[in-house]
Structure 1
């Protein structure tokens, strides 16, 4: 595995995207554990895209305008739904009591759906991973699986760090409900913008 792959992957993971925004929002409004599970859900959401890229299924999204548009529209609707859910909150998103465990499953599921409903990811990995495979390699699938595993570990670790620092910063604003509400609505606006960006994206 090349140093170029590791450095490029790290840069890609560090760039704030939908998953990062979701994880940070959980860190600020819910807690450290919730941001951890958000990072887990977002990481799990890239597995289907990685597998699709490795085994060539991403070509379907690349060549079929209908398939791409269907996945994209569902993804856009889901981002708008998350924006609406965050905007209508009137207080902290902290999960309490008996609903705690159920809430953690929901956080993982939301993170998973955020990434799995982004068709651009499959095409990205289809173009990204082969660049670091040697032309003389006889174990292409094995190498791509290994790189995918490393990419996932990087994603999870970086997202957890983002969530941890977001939770730390929440201590400065958690005593002010008005500030919390403004930040929540700000994140809702970000999800709307991300949904619009996905809506106008092309293959």
Structure 2
């Protein structure tokens, strides 16, 4: 069993890491600002589902492949960069078209959820981060390291859910204002497209 003081320290560290600017929280911020709170929450759930896969991979030792294999790392980051560029193209293509929040939630809920999963899974840096971060708080003397890593992973997801929820809630408050002006919609879509291109380049030129 992991001591409570270790879990508390890990939770604080996880909150700090979730707050730090990165592709996931920027994605929640931009999508919540454009489409509202509920779509932002759906994307957030998708991102955290992706974290489950990464955490399981670390617990099973699979993530070590991406740390030691240049080919596997390169292939995954190319896929991630390509997906980000696809999202950028969608943002530019959207132009100033308004997206009614309620209709978007009903029609695209599953799409938004899977988009969050893909956004997270195609970032090999997440797998390597967990491989480096989680084991630091596990101790073989306490029992199964894999079980401890899964427990720590759940704590990290809890921290991410709290932080991402706050981001989605705050960003959603400007969604109505964005939809009230076609010019503002055009500007925000262009800005989101540029953000995705920047993230794609950052991922593409990242190292193991």
- TM-score (norm. length: structure 1): 0.93
1:16 alignment counterpart? 21
- Deviations 1:75-115 (CA, angstroms, capped at 9, x unpaired): 00000000110111122333554x74340100011111000
Q: How big is each residue's C-alpha offset from its partner over 1:11-35, in whole Å with a ceiling of 9 and x where there is no partner?
A: 0111121121221222111121111
Most deviating of 133-142 and 147-156: 133-142
What residue in structure 2 maps to residue 133 of structure 1?
138
Q: Distance in 1 between matches of 2:125 and 2:34?
A: 28
1:178 aligns with 2:178: no
Pick the structure with more helix per residue. 2
Comparing 75-84 and 168-177, the one that deviates more: 168-177
Q: Secondary structure at the match of 1:24?
A: helix
Superposed counterparts of 1:33-72, under 5 Å: 33-72=38-77
Point out 4+ residue stretches in structure 1 off by more than 6 angstroms. Answer: none
SS in structure 1 of the partner of residue 188 of structure 2? helix
Residue aligning to 1:202: 207
Q: TM-score, normalised by structure 2?
A: 0.91
Structure 1: runs of 5 or more not aligned: none
Stretches of structure 2 that go unaligned for 5 or more consecutive residues are none
Provide the rounded CA distance (Å) in 1 between the counterparts of 2:200 and 2:144.
Answer: 38
Using the TM superposition, name which of 28-37 and 132-141 deviates more: 132-141
Over 3 Å counting, the alpha-carbon distance change for 1:5 and 1:125 in structure 2 is same
**The one of 119, 128, 140 aligned to 1:114:** 119
In the alignment, what sits opposite 1:27? 32
Q: CA deviation at 1:41?
A: 0.8
State the distance in 1 between where 2:46 and 2:71 align: 27
- For the 8 Å contact 1:95–1:103, the answer to whether it is kept is no
1:82 and 2:87 aligned: yes
Cα distance between partner residues in 1 of 2:198 and 2:37: 26
> How far 1:135 moved relative to its partner?
5.2
Q: Which moved more, 1:69-78 or 1:139-148?
A: 139-148
* Matching residue within 91, 94, 98 for 1:92: 98
CA RMSD of aligned residues (A): 1.6
Q: Once structures 1 and 2 are overlaid, which stretch shifts more, 1-10 or 102-111?
A: 1-10
CA contact (8 A) 1:30 1:92 kept: no
